[in-house]
Every structure is written in structure tokens, then in C-alpha cells.
């Protein structure tokens, strides 16, 4: 195992409710600022939940021409922009790379909801002759990696992994496999989502999954807190440059951390609820640690899925204890950045993995804000309300998706 190819993170690109560049996002994250606000993108007055983690500082004109914008759903706007930022952050010049050895693993949990909604309304108002010839390419999830490949001329493996809220984390894990098996030297990986619109919010409201703390939006997302009442929907994109270690070293790249392990399992339990014993998520964590050759005692920090729903937070706490053992679990720090940005669905794994890379590089664990009332069933160290400066040896990133999909990544200091 010692001679296997290693993968490192050399670039980050972010579009988030806390900002649309790495430094703005990170500074606000460690300050414990909330990006949750009243929904402004449509009239949400009739909805049970009227708050979201909206992207408000994004200038699409900086990244995509007006002509091309009209041919993309907003989830592709976010994803293409984040990919361009990640490439720039990594200092990559693709004219010097073999295009067949650069892959793209970008995805979305839901995809082109805006276009679906607009075209459906157009059909009922004006009939089938008014459908756009771009409707299908705008909607389909795999168009995001396709567009990024076209932008940079990248001809390596290119497809979308779709696993609901585990999507971005699975995509990054599959990028690790492409590096390991020798298929690629570089992979752009992560996720994008633009579901803060009528269908997205309405669907989750119908499930009773969203917080209805509408009068206190910045206090609404409160993972692991006793008074949590549901998640807050968010939007954005997170893209990581995953690069083979020797390739990065030869070109003198700046390295954030090592992407060392990947575990994935299925609960095979329920279409939306997690396994109540946490066994599936625990096994994903165990497999990620084994893959990374990391012991539970070496795990300093766990970036939790931490949605702020009653069932998820309780089950994930149980899973962490099962995976690490009681002693190691209580020694590790656990936090959820969803407390500040909301749940970005298919983009969550990309953005939260970027937070892990920054936490390792800068020696700071971001907090779980709005943690006020301890829950007896959630009894770990959730880094309440204030970031902590600490050297991180190894970090786990959990993502748990509808359908029972579990994905865990293990990042290490290098």
C-alpha cells in the first residue's frame, strides 16, 4: 500500500451564502457569521419556511458570457464559476497538461430546477411550440462537468455522481479513486446546487423537513442543539482540485492537505430517514479511516453532515461513537458549518470539504453556531459558537443522503 499514488488538494473554488471567494468565505466562517436570511429570490410568503442560505454576492458576468448564461441553469452558473476559481487558485495552466489525464467529477443533487419550472409554466401558458431547444441540456446534471470540460478542453473521465446530499462528497471520493488507479493526474471535483426556488423550497416544506424559525433566520440552523426544528435550505457550489502528489510537487503547487481516504455505504433502511442505529454512517467512517491508514485516535476533527434535524443529528452522533469508539469520539471536535450556510444539498460536500482543507491548512476548526441548549442524545464536543485554533492531524467529512447514501472522506495534514 505504501507505493500507491497519493492525492492532494491544490485548489479551491467557492460560491456560498457567506461569500464567493475563499478568503471571504473562510473569514466569515471562523467568525461564526450566519448567511441565512429571508428568501428574496421569489415570493415565499405562502410557504411554511421562508428562509434560506441564498447566494447574494455572486457576479455571474465575471465568469460566463451573457450568451452562454442564457444556455445554462443557475446550478451550472455556480459550478462553472467555482471550477474557474479552483483552477486559478491551483495555478493550473492546462496548455501544459495532457488533456486526457485531467478529469471532471462535478455534480448536483437535483440539477436544473429553475429551467424545469420556467419551461413548465411556459408550456401551460403558451403551448408546446414554446419549449426551448436548450431545455434538456440546461436541466441535466451531467451538463455541469461537460461544460467545465468544454471550457478548459479537458478530455479525461467526465461524469456526474448523484446521491442527493452525499453527491459532492461522493464526487470528491471518486476523484481520489481516479488519481489512485492512474487514470488521471488532476481531477476537478465537487458539487453545485441552485434549489432556492419555488419547487425546491416547496418540496422540502411538504416533507416538513425545513426550519420554520422564520422570524429569526440567523438562529434557525442549529445543529445538535436541543431546540433544532429542521434544516435551512441553501445554494452554491464547491469545487476542489484533486491532484496526484508527485505531479503537484513537480510543478511547485501550493498544497492545502492530503485527500487520504474514502468510505461509502448504504443504510438500506428508508428513503429519507437515516438508519436509527447509525450503522451505515459509522461503517463509511471506518472505511475512510482504514483507507487513509488513520486510527480513530488520530482524528482531530469531524466536519459533520449536521443538518439541524432531530433525527439526523442524533443518528450521526451515534455513528461517530460507533466508528471511533467512545473515548476517541469524545476527544474529537465535531462541527457543522450548515449552522452558518444552511444545507447546500448536492453542493454541501464540495463546500464543506473545502472548509476541511482550510481548517487543516490554517489550524482552525470552524464552530457550530446557535448551539445554546445541549441535547442529552447529542453529547459530543460540537465546538459551540466559537472557532478553535488547533493543529489538525486528520479530519473526517461526513455526508448522508436521502436513499441511505453515506459518504466519508478523510483529509490529512501533509
Which of 77, 170, 247, 305 is the catalytic position?
Answer: 305
Which of 343, 356, 378, 410 is the catalytic position?
Answer: 343
Which of 165, 205, 395, 410 is the catalytic position?
Answer: 165
Residues 6+ apart with CB under 8 A from 242: 7, 8, 9, 172, 175, 176, 179, 186, 187, 188, 189, 259
Active site residue 405: no
- Cα gap 140→159, rounded to integer Å: 12
Residue linked to cell 473526517: 396
Active site residue 170: no
Active site residue 343: yes
Cβ(231)–Cβ(379) below 8 Å: no
- Cα gap 238→172, rounded to integer Å: 10
Which among 220, 410, 219, 223 has a CA at the least distance from the CA of 301? 410
- Cα gap 267→78, rounded to integer Å: 31
| Nearest-10 Cα torsion for 97, 99, 105, 110 | 130
- Cα gap 284→281, rounded to integer Å: 5
**The 257-266 sheet, strands edge to edge:** 102-107, 186-193, 236-244, 7-15, 257-266, 405-412, 394-401, 299-303, 333-335
The catalytic residues are 165, 305, 343
Amino acid at each position: 500500500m505504501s507505493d500507491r499514488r497519493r492525492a492532494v488538494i491544490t485548489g479551491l473554488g467557492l460560491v456560498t451564502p457567506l461569500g464567493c471567494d475563499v478568503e471571504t468565505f473562510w473569514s466569515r466562517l471562523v467568525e461564526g457569521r450566519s448567511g441565512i436570511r429571508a428568501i428574496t429570490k421569489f415570493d415565499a410568503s405562502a410557504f411554511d419556511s421562508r428562509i434560506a442560505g441564498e447566494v447574494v454576492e455572486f457576479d455571474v458576468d465575471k465568469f460566463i458570457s451573457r450568451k452562454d448564461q442564457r444556455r445554462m441553469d443557475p446550478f451550472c452558473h455556480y459550478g462553472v464559476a467555482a471550477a474557474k476559481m479552483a483552477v486559478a487558485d491551483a495555478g493550473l495552466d492546462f496548455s501544459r497538461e495532457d488533456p486526457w489525464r485531467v478529469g471532471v467529477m462535478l455534480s448536483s443533487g437535483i440539477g436544473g430546477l429553475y429551467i424545469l419550472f420556467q419551461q413548465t409554466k411556459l408550456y401551460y401558458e403558451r403551448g408546446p411550440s414554446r419549449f426551448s431547444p436548450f431545455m434538456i441540456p440546461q436541466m441535466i446534471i451531467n451538463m455541469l462537468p461537460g461544460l467545465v470540460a468544454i471550457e478548459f478542453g479537458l478530455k479525461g473521465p467526465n461524469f456526474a455522481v448523484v446521491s442527493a446530499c452525499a453527491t459532492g462528497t461522493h464526487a470528491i471520493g471518486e476523484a481520489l479513486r481516479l488519481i489512485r488507479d492512474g487514470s488521471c493526474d488532476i481531477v476537478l471535483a465537487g458539487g453545485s446546487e441552485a434549489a432556492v426556488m419555488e419547487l425546491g423550497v416547496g418540496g422540502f416544506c411538504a416533507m416538513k423537513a425545513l426550519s420554520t424559525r422564520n422570524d429569526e433566520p440567523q438562529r434557525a440552523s442549529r445543529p445538535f442543539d436541543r431546540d433544532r426544528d429542521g434544516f435551512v435550505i441553501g445554494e452554491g457550489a464547491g469545487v476542489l482540485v484533486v491532484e496526484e502528489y508527485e505531479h503537484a510537487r513537480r510543478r511547485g503547487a501550493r498544497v492545502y492537505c492530503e485527500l487520504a481516504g474514502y468510505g461509502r455505504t448504504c443504510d438500506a433502511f428508508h428513503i429519507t430517514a437515516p438508519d436509527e442505529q447509525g450503522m451505515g454512517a459509522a461503517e463509511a467512517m471506518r472505511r475512510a479511516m482504514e483507507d487513509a491508514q488513520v486510527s480513530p485516535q488520530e482524528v482531530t476533527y469531524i466536519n459533520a453532515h449536521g443538518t439541524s434535524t432531530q433525527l439526523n443529528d442524533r443518528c450521526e452522533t451515534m455513528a461517530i461513537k460507533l466508528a471511533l469508539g467512545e473515548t476517541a469520539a469524545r476527544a474529537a471536535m465535531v462541527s457543522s458549518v450548515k449552522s452558518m450556510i444552511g444545507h447546500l444539498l448536492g453542493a454541501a460536500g464540495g463546500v464543506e470539504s473545502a472548509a476541511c482543507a482550510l481548517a487543516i491548512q490554517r489550524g482552525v476548526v470552524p464552530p457550530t453556531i446557535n448551539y445554546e441548549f445541549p441535547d442529552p442524545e447529542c453529547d459530543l464536543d460540537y465546538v459551540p459558537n466559537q472557532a478553535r485554533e488547533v493543529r489538525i492531524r486528520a479530519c473526517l467529512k461526513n455526508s448522508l443522503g436521502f436513499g441511505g447514501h453515506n459518504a466519508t472522506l478523510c483529509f490529512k495534514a501533509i
